[in-house]
């Protein structure tokens, strides 16, 4: 392995704002993918052994530097000055439904939750946690799915690492069938009834 590969990888990874795949790094540095992959894992191990304040992780299909959890408080104090962006309980519930039933339409998410989720979905879209994923063939409704940013924030390599939560979710199909008429055609710009939800949780 060339002596300058690891420093080159460090230099590139210092300026990225999202995880970078091994394939992309190999192409940029004009090196074999296997050689790049081995170097990345060696760097990650070295940072751990050295007890550095950051580590190199494979998240959402790519590599990126992250602050170690034990130093999160110090980083938050510096960057956020004590202010943390949080999601409401309603937003977290909506995000969970999208994550486990994606691709899914707003009306189906609303049927599962039993309330209008349009305002919450707008928030999730703005935060970059969900994105449009085409339309539903039967109704033409826009479908939504989670993003790579969602995986990154959750510390997951892929959706297959989501915990087994299905037994705790409502039987969505049954709920939709029973309450289809009870879920109105919501105005996307209408006030969100969940907006008054005061329970917040940091994502």
What are the residue boundaries of the structural domains of the chain, listed by start?
5-79, 87-201
Q: How would CATH label the architecture of 5-79?
A: Orthogonal Bundle (1.10)
Q: What's the rounded Cα separation, in Å, for the pair 63 and 22?
A: 7
φ, ψ dihedrals at 57, nearest 5°: -125, 150
| CATH number of the domain located at residue range(s) 87-201 in this protein | 1.10.10.10
Q: Give the length of the chain.
A: 203
Q: What's the rounded Cα separation, in Å, for the pair 106 and 119?
A: 10
What is the pLDDT, as a whole number, of residue 167? 54
What pTM did the predictor assign? 0.50
Average pLDDT over residues 18-26: 94
Which tens digit of pLDDT belongs to each residue from 135-187? 988 888 999 999 998 998 888 888 888 887 655 555 444 444 444 444 433 33
Which tens digit of pLDDT belongs to each residue from 114-128? 888 888 898 899 888
Strand partners, 146: 130
CA distances from 65 to 5, 28, 58 (A): 17, 18, 9
Q: What's the rounded Cα separation, in Å, for the pair 86 and 95?
A: 13
What is the pLDDT, as a whole number, of residue 203? 59
Nearest-Å Rg of the Cα atoms of the chain is: 21
CA distances from 59 to 5, 10, 35 (A): 21, 16, 19
φ, ψ dihedrals at 16, nearest 5°: -85, 150
Q: Token digits for 41?
A: 């894992």
């Amino acid at each position: 392995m060339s002596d300058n590969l690891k420093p080159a990888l460090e230099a590139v990874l210092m300026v990225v704002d999202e995880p970078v795949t091994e394939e992309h790094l190999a192409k940029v540095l004009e090196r074999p993918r296997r050689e790049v992959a081995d170097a990345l894992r060696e760097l990650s191990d070295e940072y751990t052994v050295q007890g550095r304040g950051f580590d190199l992780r494979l998240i959402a299909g790519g590599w990126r530097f992250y602050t170690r959890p034990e130093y999160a408080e110090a980083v938050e104090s510096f960057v956020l000055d004590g202010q943390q962006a949080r999601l409401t309980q309603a937003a977290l519930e909506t995000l969970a439904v999208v994550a486990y039933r994606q691709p899914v339409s707003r009306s189906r998410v609303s049927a599962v939750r039993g309330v209008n989720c349009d305002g919450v979905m707008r928030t999730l879209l703005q935060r970059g946690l969900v994105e449009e994923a085409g339309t539903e063939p039967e109704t033409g409704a826009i479908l939504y799915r989670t993003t790579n940013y969602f995986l990154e924030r959750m510390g997951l390599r892929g959706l297959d690492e989501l915990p087994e939560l299905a037994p705790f979710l409502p039987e969505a199909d049954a709920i939709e069938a029973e309450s289809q008429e009870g879920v109105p055609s919501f105005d996307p710009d209408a006030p969100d009834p969940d907006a008054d939800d005061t329970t917040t949780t940091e994502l």
